[in-house]
A and B are shown apart, each in its own frame.
Chain A
Amino acid sequence: MYLLHGENITCGYDTVDILSECSVGVRKGEIASIVGPNGAGKSTAMKSIFGLLKIRLGKILLDNEDITNLLPQERVLKGMGYVPQTNNIFPTLSVQENLEMGAFIQHEDFSDILDYVYDLFPVLREKRNQQAGELSGGQRQQVAVGRALMTKPKVLMLDEPSAGVSPIVMESLFQKIIEIAQQGTAVLMVEQNAKQALEISDLGFVLNQGKNLYTGTGKALLSNKEVIQSFLGG
């Protein structure tokens, strides 16, 4: 039973379908990764699930509730957090203000979540009064993830979290993602670095040309010869 489930999604831009009958999902407390070659429709899948792109067919379920027709902002209120691949912070706002903006939609006190984020990313607490745009790439990514966590989402969606950061930073970022999942938040992410992503994933979806090619546990996919050959570079 998926917590977040995109079921048989068909969508695209104008008349061209990028995704056709594609299904992805993630269970509570688990990590799921969407991998595949360039142009497979990975980011499109994320956008359509979050409501940034209208889907033509299929539906999106969150906790068994149909959210297909909700606006992105409304999905945030329902418990989804989304970290875009680029432009995912407010560069001239301070780190703390960035996080506060994440909780903009909520009206209750969020100091405990703020503490949670700062505990997760101690470096952000240290630099909380600095402009987010002045931080390093990895720290900016932490701000972006932290911002999305501020609504205490049931599901956190990450679009290529490791884009543009060094391997060491990526490693520590993935460590944080595991921690987030262990706290009970489901994580659905799209990754270019398929191998590393599948290593930490409970579930993996290999997409190709907008279709599900393989679905299975991270371990199973990593030992699948065809997957290795075609998508993980031997």
Chain B
Amino acid sequence: MEFLNSFILITNYIIIPGLTYGSQLALGALGITIVYTVLRFSNFAHGELMSFGTMSTILLTWIFIDSNIKFGTFPTAIIVLPFSIIFTIIYCLLVDKFVFKFYRQQKSKSVIVLIVSIGVMFFTGGLIRFIIGPGDKNFMDGERFILKAKDFKMLTGLDEGLTIKSTQFVTIILTILLVILLFWFLNKTKTGKSMRAYSDNQELALLSGINPERIVLITWIITGTLACVAGTLYGLDKSYKPFTYLHLVLPIFAAAIVGGVGNPIGAIIGGFVISFSELLITFAYKKFFFYILPNNFLPDGLLQILSTDYKIAVSFIILVLVLLIKPTGIYKGKIIK
């Protein structure tokens, strides 16, 4: 019984939030990784692209709710997603046309394009704040919980409650679907394979008759989709504030690099490594040990490895450690010079 309680405690405070946040990071990191391998630069504007996608979702959600279109117990934002994805893709393509295309044709060094992406980051950040304002926006509606702690306790008779927020449920399900779709596309379709071929060896891909502009187009379609979904899910789960998305770039980069930049599986693994380390390192284990240790063995203090204030810093620490010890990441990524 005590063991079950401790298990539920861990599930409630680490496993479910870890899976949720990890999914959001994984989707973000996939976007960064795909831009990095195909277009060959580190896109610092990715956080703002996610923010742009979320903003589109919020604006459309308001319109949908006004016209009384809702998604039952689930957030309306979910049925809005296909439309906001289209907006995000259009924005990505416009940015590419007016900004990145030039540097691709010039074959600029990747570090120059990185600095260009900072310009895009500024511009997009300003545009978003100009359109929707800098404040907090809540766009979560529908039922908040799928499983409430009280109900769970009643059902099982345990002391520890288990809650599953509907946003957590939606995040995990959507991520699984999207990842399956992405991998099916990359590995099974002719276009997906040609995209991987292009990222492997541009010259040979050209010789094989692969059209680079088409690859670029598809890359932005995928990136825009991933960014929009990742941003929206993060915004639903936490809350939307343009400012936080700027700070999301670094954990996302951390996830991409930890997993091995350029490797989609690595990006996903990296997302979960980051999210679980953040939670595991800042979790107060006192209650956990309360269940599994005899009472007189229980030490003082919260039994935290690092205070919760350092939660996000954990991802930076892991990032720096990985860069120092194994820059290629867990799954060997691509090195682009």
Residues of chain A having any CB pair with chain B under 8 Å: 72-73, 76-77, 82, 84, 87-93, 97, 100-102, 104-105, 147
- The answer for the CA separation of A212 and B45 in the assembled complex, in Å, is 55
Cross-interface CB contact of B193 among A72, A77, A88, A97, cutoff 8 Å:
A97
Contact of A97 with B209 in the complex, beta carbons under 8 Å: no
B70 contacts the other chain (CB 8 A):
no
Q: How far is the CA of A77 from the CA of B209 in the complex (A)?
A: 9
CA distance A89 to B194 in the complex (A): 13
With a 10 A CB-CB cut-off, give which of B197, B205, B210 has the most chain A CB atoms: B197
Contact B209 A90 (CB under 8 A): no
Selected from A91, A92, A104, the residue in CB contact (under 8 A) with B208 is A104
> Which residues does chain A contribute within 8 Å of B203, judged by CB atoms?
84, 87
Q: Are B197 and A90 in contact (CB under 8 A)?
A: yes
Question: Do A97 and B197 touch across chains, with their CB atoms under 8 A apart?
Answer: yes
Is B196 touching A93 in the complex (CB atoms < 8 A)? yes
CB within 8 Å of A: which B193-216 residues: 193-194, 196-197, 200-201, 203-210
Chain B residue at minimum C-beta to C-beta distance from A74 = B209
Is the beta-carbon distance between B204 and A87 smaller than 8 angstroms?
yes
Q: How far is the CA of A92 from the CA of B205 in the complex (A)?
A: 13
CB distance from B178 to the nearest CB of A (A): 22
Give the bracket for the number of chain B residues in contact with chain A.
Answer: 10 to 19
Q: Does B190 contact A (CB under 8 A)?
A: yes
User: Do B205 and A101 touch (CB < 8 A)?
Assistant: yes
Nearest-Cβ distance from residue A116 to partner chain B, whole angstroms:
18
Are B210 and A101 interface neighbours, CB within 8 A?
yes
- Known contacts A73-B206, A76-B207, A100-B190; 4 further A-B pairs (Cβ under 8 A): A72-B207, A73-B207, A76-B208, A104-B190
What's the Cα separation between A91 and B197 when bound, in Å? 9
How many angstroms from the CA of A88 to the CA of B334 in the assembled complex? 17
Q: In the complex, what's the smallest C-beta–C-beta distance from A41 to chain B, in angstroms?
A: 20
- Distance in angstroms from B187 CB to nearest chain A CB is 9
- Are A102 and B208 neighbours in the complex by a CB distance under 8 Å? yes
Identity of the chain A residue whose Cβ is nearest the Cβ of B203 in the assembled complex = A87
Q: How far is the CA of A97 from the CA of B200 in the complex (A)?
A: 12
Give Cα A88 to B202, complex, Å: 10
**A7 CA to B88 CA, complexed, in Å:** 52
Taking beta carbons and an 8 Å cutoff, which residues of B are in contact with A?
190, 193-194, 196-197, 200-201, 203-210, 334
CB A202 to nearest CB in B, in angstroms, measures 26
With A76-B209, A77-B209 as known contacts, state yes or no: A104 contacts B194, CB within 8 Å: yes
Please indicate the chain A residues that have their CB under 8 angstroms from the CB of B334 in the complex: 92
- Top 7 A-B residue pairs of the complex, sorted by shortest distance between their CB atoms: A105-B209, A90-B200, A73-B209, A101-B197, A90-B197, A104-B208, A101-B208
Asked whether B193 lies within 8 Å of A101 as measured between CB atoms, the reply is yes
* Closest chain B CB from A158 CB (angstroms): 14
B193, B206, B209, B210: the one contacting A93 at CB < 8 Å is B193
Chain B residues within 8 Å of A72, by CB: 206-207
Nearest A residue (CB) for B191: A104
Shortest CB-to-CB span from A113 to chain B, Å, is: 14
Task: Say whether A92 contacts B196, CB under 8 Å.
Answer: yes
Q: Is the CB of B196 within 8 A of A90?
A: yes
**Chain A residues with Cβ under 8 A from B196's Cβ?**
90, 92-93, 97
- The answer to whether B201 touches A91 (Cβ under 8 A) is yes
User: A50 CB to closest chain B CB, in angstroms?
Assistant: 8
Nearest chain B CB to A142 CB, angstrom units: 15
* Interchain nearest-CB distance for A52 vs B (Å): 8
Which of chain B's residues has its CB closest to A77's CB?
B209
Task: Chain A residues near B194: list those with CB within 8 A.
Answer: 101, 104
Q: Assess whether B207 is in contact with A82, with CB atoms less than 8 Å apart.
A: yes
- A100: chain B residues within 8 A (beta carbon): 190, 193
Measured CA separation A101–B196 after assembly (Å): 10
How far, in angstroms, from A82 to B210 measured CA to CA in the complex?
15
Query: What are 19 contact pairs spanning A and B, CB under 8 A?
Result: A72-B206, A73-B206, A73-B207, A76-B208, A76-B209, A88-B204, A89-B201, A90-B196, A90-B197, A90-B200, A90-B204, A93-B196, A93-B200, A97-B196, A100-B190, A101-B210, A104-B194, A104-B208, A147-B208
Q: Point out the residues of chain A lying under 8 angstroms from B206, CB to CB.
A: 72-73
A101 CA to B206 CA in the complex, in Å?
Answer: 11
Question: Which chain A residue has the least Cβ–Cβ distance from B187?
Answer: A97
Q: Are B209 and A104 in contact (CB under 8 A)?
A: yes
